[in-house]
Amino acid sequence: MPAAPWRGAALLLCCACLCAALGKLTPAVCSRCGSHRPTSLVSVCFSFCTEQRGCILGEVGKPVLLPCHPNLGRLSNFSVEWRNHDEAVFRSLWDGDGNVETWSVNYARIPTDAAATGNFSLELPSPSFQTYPNLFTCAYSKRSQNHLKSLTFVSFVVVAASFRIPEVRKEESSYLCRSWGGYPQPVVYWLIDDSRQPPDGAVTTRAQALPDSHLYNVTSRLTVNVSKDDTVSSQITFKWFRRKNEKKRK
């Protein structure tokens, strides 16, 4: 396969994109125990995820379309390859006579008229997301006079499922935050009086993978003595995202 020459460029681009994406995709607070304004995790967390930024928000178990439609002009003797990180998920090779040879993983596909339209958008019918974040690249390469011309496009796919609006309970000297049905694995942050982080060892969080799905339940307990005037708040976010504090009264 003519994949090798792209590889270095694709990986380099992956890195650049990942850094850019990590910088840009700083979500706001996602869900909060005891929030009076219940918000959907997905819509809040991913308000920074837009197609213009090369970011596609997928949903666990639902088809996702990764755009790739470079303006390439007349096409013959060319190939297209999609990768998730460095693992190929789709490859098509067209010869000069318009014949096509296609290889794919898990029914990933591009439009059948891709050679005519130049639309190489990849559809993943039922994505299985083993790595997180997913970083897809669409690489095109053209053979002419014994050399390969290659271009790489990067799509960045975030896959998530919304956690249910969390429940918070105050017990004697502890606070309990619980939610369920979300993906990927969450982390729970607590804040005392909107500014102080709890002391070391005061928080125990358990995320439990639900059987037969990618989803998680999460339970977090904060054990701390706070004065009556202090507020206690918590937020559920994803492991991979950076933390962002946001003020909110309880």
Ligand X SMILES: *[C@@H]1O[C@H](CO)[C@@H](O)[C@H](O)[C@H]1NC(C)=O
For residue 160, give the nearest of 27, 69, 250 by alpha carbon. 27
Measured CA angle at 208 (ends 202, 209), to 5 deg: 155
CB of 129 to ligand X, least distance (A): 20
Phi/psi-derived region of residue 146, left when phi > 0, alpha when psi is between -120 and 50, beta in every other case: left
Q: What CA–CA distance (Å, rounded) separates 156 from 55? A: 5
Which of 171, 225, 228, 229 is close enough to bind ligand X by CB under 6 A?
225
For ligand X, the closer CB: 24 or 181: 181
Token duo for residue 128 = 């299985």
Asked if 76 interacts with ligand X (CB under 6 A), we say yes
Token duo for residue 245 = 């504090």
Which of 7, 24, 53, 69 is close enough to bind ligand X by CB under 6 A?
69
Interface characters, 99-138, with ligand X (x: CB under 6 A): ------------x-------x-x-----------------
Beta strands in 172-226 (DSSP E): 174-182, 186-192, 203-209, 216-223
The answer to whether residues 219 and 176 touch, using CB atoms and an 8 Å cutoff, is yes
Which of 35, 102, 223, 231 is close enough to bind ligand X by CB under 6 A?
223
Asked if 144 interacts with ligand X (CB under 6 A), we say yes
For ligand X, the closer CB: 173 or 245: 173
Which of 47, 77, 106, 245 is close enough to bind ligand X by CB under 6 A?
77
Asked if 50 interacts with ligand X (CB under 6 A), we say no
Closest residue to ligand X, based on beta-carbon distance: 96
Asked if 208 interacts with ligand X (CB under 6 A), we say yes
Q: What CA–CA distance (Å, rounded) separates 52 from 37? A: 29
For ligand X, the closer CB: 40 or 76: 76
Per CB under 6 A, which region of 8-16, 78-86, 184-192, 217-225 contacts ligand X? 217-225
Asked if 210 interacts with ligand X (CB under 6 A), we say yes
CB of 130 to ligand X, least distance (A): 21
Q: What CA–CA distance (Å, rounded) separates 120 from 110? A: 6
**Which residues contact ligand X by CB under 6 A?**
65, 69, 76-77, 96, 111, 119, 121, 143-144, 173, 180, 208, 210, 217, 223-225
